[in-house]
Amino acid sequence: MMKTLVIGSNSFSGQDFVRHALSSGDEVIGISRSEQKEQYNLSYDKNDPKFNFLRLDLNKDIDKILSTASEFQPDYIINFAAQSIVEPSWDSPEDWYETNTTSLSKLIPGLCKIKSIKKYLHTSTPEVYGSCAERIEESMLYNPSTPYAASKAAGDLLLNVYKKQFGFPVCLVRSANVYGARQQLFKIVPKAVVSLMRGERLPLHGGGESTRSFIHIADVSVAERLVLEQGNVGDIYHISHDREVSIRNLVEIVCKNMGKDFDQCVDIVGERAGKDSAYTLSSKKINSLGWFTRVKLQEGIQEVIDWAKENDIHKKSTGLEYIHKR
């Protein structure tokens, strides 16, 4: 039985990776700064005997996180903890640097002392590349255009230093736009679904002209596990779909699946500051490990719609806009 420590286990990606790790037979400890979510927002059984949840904050509880890791002696650690929203990072960039860079600089030296660790997987972001017209390989140079992207790039570079100097067994993954059931409601797919369920008009930034590759969370979790098991230490892996779609076309699919008229459901608004208009990731590297996407976009969007309807998500008090928490 493998032991896996998931930092940021309450995040959308974190909770699904917990599901995948438990289904693989792992003993799992999940760490997050907030209380464990309600079951409808978790894809794993929160009462699974192989899972233990600890409420710890990466920015405040480094010593407790390190002592937990030292006692647990994990084979794998995967870190999802981050300030990960682009636009608000302009308002308080210091908060993004605290989580994405400074706290990481306190965590990694301690993890270097834990010899059980076979692989530490860090979730980075394609935003570190900025806008690129061509398909991006993992060797592409950093060109961040927002405080969020810059803070993540700084963290990535720090991890590379510890790999070079101390042999820290790190791999990085950068995923395309991830979506699926249980995602935060301010993300475009669930936001569109819930807006339509509430009869509210959806603001479409820049007319939705930006193109992205959308990838289902289950496919991402499979890829992350594969990198933990087979990835080369020090390498970066892109997790992406070959097909790109504009935000407008994505919302049109949501409207069609819900029997709604697109023009009656959206408002065209201005673009957000520093938003990268395009980036297309090459996934050849992880494809060489035997990974390919399985969930089609239409199927994944319908899954989100079904989850929202089954759990009356539109009736929850949760808003559709991001609220920054320090």
Could you read off the pLDDT of 15-38 as tens digits, one per residue? Answer: 999 999 999 999 999 999 999 999
CA distances in angstroms from 25 to 8, 39, 58, 226, 237, listed in the order given: 20, 20, 26, 15, 24
Question: For 115-128, what is the mean pLDDT?
Answer: 97
> What's the pLDDT score for residue 229?
98
Domains delineated in the chain: 3-177+214-239 (3.40.50.720), 181-212+243-278+296-315 (3.90.25.10)
Taking alpha carbons only, the member of 32, 35, 28, 26 closest to residue 64 is 32
**Model confidence band, residue 318 (pLDDT cutoffs 50, 70, 90):** low
pTM score, two decimals? 0.94
Could you read off the pLDDT of 169-199 as tens digits, one per residue? Answer: 999 999 999 999 999 999 999 999 999 999 9
DSSP 178-216: EE-TT--TTSHHHHHHHHHHHTPPEEEEGGG--EE-EEE
Could you read off the pLDDT of 70-80 as tens digits, one per residue? Answer: 999 999 999 99
Residue 272 has pLDDT above 70, yes or no: no
Residue 276 has pLDDT above 70, yes or no: no
What's the CA gap between 219 and 297, in Å, rounded? 12
CA distances in angstroms from 313 to 7, 184, 191, 269, listed in the order given: 26, 11, 11, 25
**Model confidence band, residue 275 (pLDDT cutoffs 50, 70, 90):** low
